[in-house]
Amino acid sequence: MNLTIETNKCLQAYNSLALAATASHFCCVSNYQQLEKALAFAKSNNLSVMPLGAGSNLVLASDVEGLVVYVDLLGVMVTEETDIPEGHVDVTFCAGEDWHEMVLYSLKRGWYGLENLSLIPGNMGAAAIQNIGAYGVELSDLLVSLKAVDLESGELFTLTNHECQFSYRDSVFKQSLKDKCLITEVTLRLSTSPVINLAYPALKGYFLDRQEPLTATMVSEAVCSIRRSKLPDPKELANVGSFFKNPVIPATKFIELQGKHLDDGADIPGYEQDGGAVKVPAGWLVEHCQFKGVRHGSAGVHKHQALVLVNYNDCPASNNAKDILDLAATIQKKVFADFGIDLEIEPRVYGFI
């Protein structure tokens, strides 16, 4: 139950962009008692608290003055409730569990619904903050409730799916509860019989010539294959996956843009959304503005996927975080100039350059 507080801790190994920011104070918590002690320490020393999971969706733009709490809460529990619909199971995952490992864990136990979200980097707790989604499924489709700790009072509280205020890559944890709590566990409602979801075009196309009956495991493997073909492994080339959100614009503006760019051969792709809106792929916008493969100091746009900014970490004199954010700003400026669309950075940026 002892808690170790480290000072001047380098966080390079704790974020997938491999940025060498330093935390003035750092600790790892693997149980609630340690978490309570960490919050008490922060309060008595007047330190802000920054929860940290796998670090796969953040940009450490500067050193962190405060207590970084690495969340290593582990465990999986089947919830015994009487009101769970037949053919389903409610499973509670502690926040420190690796997301992809839990997808595989669930498949082995005959719990289905997560397969389209295979290979998404990060941990269970952060998945709720981001409302992760891929290939036609979002976390909000599956989440029943979650528990979190108030960073100020140390009190544990529960939020339902509705109270999490989920939307596209957004939640209450990015709004009114931003920097105010630490998620400790999430409860998902999974199916006990396979539900094959091939609504997403790329996934449907993957199985176009397959004749044999599909299984949930096959869907998971297909998603992994598609993701690996498009996205670099952060362990081999530092990145946070998609760096920009896919912008959602009014249908009228989308039609206007199609007409405006008809002469330059830009066949702008778009996907209809609820409420008369259209989602435009951010990667297409970045690539059309000719940023694919572009370098800026230690930062670059991935040569195979324009939506991914990477840290080559090969320019010793560079401020890698500044290189990445400067490149992102250049891309945003060009996309807005050409299309009148504001690209929003998807990962959380901590600190200032």
Residue 55 lies in a domain: yes
Per-residue pLDDT at 45 exceeds 70: yes
Residue 287 lies in a domain: yes
Please tell me whether residues 181 and 194 are part of one structural domain. yes
**Cβ(280)–Cβ(270) below 8 Å:** yes
Per-residue pLDDT at 158 exceeds 90: yes
Q: Among this protein's residues, is 140 annotated catalytic?
A: no
- 63-74: burial string, b at 16+ Cβ within 10 Å, e else: bbebbbbbbbbe
Among candidate residues 191, 210, 230, the one where a domain is terminated = 230
Round to whole Å and give the CA distance between 77 and 16.
28
Quick one: three-class SS letters along 100-165? HHHHHHHHHCCCECCHHHCCCCCEHHHHHHHCCEECCEEHHHCEEEEEEEECCCCCEEEEECHHHC
Please tell me whether residues 98 and 210 are part of one structural domain. yes
* Lowest-confidence region among 259-268, 269-278, 324-333: 259-268
Please tell me whether residues 166 and 197 are part of one structural domain. yes
Backbone angles phi, psi at 346, to 5 degrees: -80, -45
- Coil, strand or helix: which one is 342? coil
Q: Among this protein's residues, is 242 annotated catalytic?
A: yes
pLDDT in tens, 3-26: 999 999 999 999 999 999 999 999
The catalytically annotated residue of 16, 106, 118, 242 is 242
Kind of pairing, strands 143-150 and 133-134?
unpaired
Report the chain's mean pLDDT, rounded to a whole number: 93
- Would you state the pLDDT for residue 265? 65
- Would you state the pLDDT for residue 81? 74
pLDDT in tens, 205-255: 999 888 889 999 999 999 999 999 888 999 999 999 999 999 999 999 999
Among candidate residues 37, 71, 105, the one where a domain is terminated = 71
User: Domain span at residue 249?
Assistant: 238-350
User: How crowded is residue 128: how many other Cβ atoms within 10 Å of its Cβ?
Assistant: 25
**Cβ(2)–Cβ(30) below 8 Å:** no
Residue 1 lies in a domain: no
Question: Counting beta carbons within 10 angstroms of the beta carbon of residue 18, is it exposed (0 to 12), middle (13 to 18) or buried (19 or more)?
Answer: buried
Round to whole Å and give the CA distance between 307 and 150.
34
- Which DSSP category does 272 fall into? E
- Would you state the pLDDT for residue 352? 63
CATH of the domain at 67: 3.30.43.10
Report the share of the chain in percent with pLDDT over 70. 98
Please tell me whether residues 65 and 185 are part of one structural domain. no
Please tell me whether residues 57 and 83 are part of one structural domain. no
Please tell me whether residues 252 and 106 are part of one structural domain. no
pLDDT in tens, 127-148: 999 999 999 999 999 999 999 9
The catalytically annotated residue of 169, 171, 189, 220 is 169
Per-residue pLDDT at 118 exceeds 60: yes
Please tell me whether residues 173 and 258 are part of one structural domain. no
Please tell me whether residues 100 and 31 are part of one structural domain. no
Quick one: three-class SS letters along 42-97? HHHCCCCEEEECCCCCEEECCCEEEEEEEECCCCEEECCCCCCCCCEEEEEEECCC
**Number of domain units in the chain:** 3
- Coil, strand or helix: which one is 22? strand
Among candidate residues 48, 71, 94, the one where a domain is terminated = 71
The model's confidence at residue 75, banded by pLDDT at 50, 70 and 90, is very high
pLDDT in tens, 167-212: 988 999 999 999 999 999 999 999 999 989 998 888 999 998 888 8
CATH of the domain at 138: 3.30.465.10
User: How crowded is residue 174: how many other Cβ atoms within 10 Å of its Cβ?
Assistant: 16
Q: Among this protein's residues, is 346 annotated catalytic?
A: yes
Please tell me whether residues 188 and 223 are part of one structural domain. yes
> CA quadruple 305, 306, 308, 310: dihedral positive or negative?
positive
- Would you state the pLDDT for residue 318? 77
The catalytically annotated residue of 97, 138, 185, 346 is 346
**Cβ(247)–Cβ(273) below 8 Å:** no
